[in-house]
Amino acid sequence: MLKKLFSKQINMDTLSVEERVALAKSEPIPAHVAIIMDGNGRWAKKRAMPRVAGHHEGMKTVQKITRFASDLGIQALTVYAFSTENWKRPKAEVDFLMRLPVEFLGSFLPEMMERNVRVEMIGNPELLPAHTQKALYDAMEETKHNTGLVLNFALNYGSRAEIIDAMKGMLEKVQEGELTIQDITEECVTAHLMTAHLPEPDLLIRTSGEVRLSNFMLWQLAYTELWFTDTLWPDFNEKNLLEAIENYQKRNRRYGGLKGEETT
């Protein structure tokens, strides 16, 4: 309400980030924000640097955005870090990407503990190198009692693989007599996905100007609000997230029905 009165009269650009945060918090904040972090390679190329330098800079953006998401009161932040298709990249790049969680979680863990952040992951951990798995499992174990922001890494994640696993899980239960065919509802499918314990994403952000989903959360995104920006992931900052949230807060989520004035 405050924001509606305010934003009609005031150009948001003239407000400080703190003022914009306060206004954003006076409206519903998306519970779950999912981000397709794209453009690391192009960021590096623009600077005549190797692609991996872009990935390293992108890791710092994850830290910055985790802090900000936690300050904003977002419940869950899912970051797409490595897709099931990214194995197609040169081995040296894949190796570098697989070492990043070790560095990220090693250096950022104390701060995540202070900020009450819980680390989780979706995707198949089995194909990840042992050091990547260990960093993830250690961080998940250490933060498992934290009750603040869930920082959910999608690592070796592919939505189609996830849906196939969910189907297999349900079929096994049918074979064992734990489920009947009639039990297979939307809720049942949702409960068999790796995101079962998370709210559905309210807002999806993809950086770098690409306008596609690249096998990310295909089931979960059915009614998610989408935000695409040309900003490359290493350049993405607090103001960019705030802009996406402010835009989200102006949208009318109808879920196929009618809302607001149209219902009268």
CB 218, min distance to ligand IPE, A: 13
Distance, in Å, from the CA atom of 8 to the CA atom of 140, rounded to the nearest integer, reads 44
Which of 83, 195 has the CB closer to ligand IPE? 83
Q: Is 260 helix (H, G, I), strand (E, B) or coil?
A: helix
Q: What φ, ψ does residue 129 adopt, rounded to 5°? A: -60, 155
CA proximity to 22, closest of 6, 37, 39 = 6
Binding mask of the shown chain, residues 67 to 96, with x at each position contacting ligand IPE by CB under 6 A? -------------xxxx--x----------
227 binds, among Mg ion, ligand IPE, none (CB under 5 to 8 A by kind): none
From 108-116, 121-129, 208-216, 240-248, span contacting ligand IPE (CB under 6 A): 208-216
CA proximity to 78, closest of 243, 240, 228, 194 = 194
201 binds, among Mg ion, ligand IPE, none (CB under 5 to 8 A by kind): none
Q: Which of 24, 33, 38, 56 binds Mg ion (CB under 5 A)?
A: 38
Distance, in Å, from the CA atom of 113 to the CA atom of 99, rounded to the nearest integer, reads 21
Q: What φ, ψ does residue 258 adopt, rounded to 5°? A: -120, 145
Distance, in Å, from the CA atom of 158 to the CA atom of 171, rounded to the nearest integer, reads 20
248 binds, among Mg ion, ligand IPE, none (CB under 5 to 8 A by kind): none
Q: Please give the annotated binding residues, written as ranges.
A: 38-43, 51, 55, 83-85, 87, 89, 206, 212-214, 225
Helix/strand/coil (H/E/C) assignment for every residue in 193-239: CCCCCCCCCCEEEECCCCCCCCCCCCCCCCCCEEEECCCCHHHCCHH
Q: Please give the annotated binding residues for substrate, written as ranges.
A: 39-43, 51, 55, 83-85, 87, 89, 206, 212-214
40 binds, among Mg ion, ligand IPE, none (CB under 5 to 8 A by kind): ligand IPE
Residue 208 interacts with ligand IPE (CB under 6 A): yes or no: yes
Residues in 9-38 that interact with ligand IPE by CB under 6 A? 36-38
Residue 162 interacts with ligand IPE (CB under 6 A): yes or no: no
Residue 185 CA, chain-centre distance (Å), reads 25
Q: Which residues bind ligand IPE (CB under 6 A)?
A: 36-42, 80-83, 86, 97, 208, 210, 212, 214
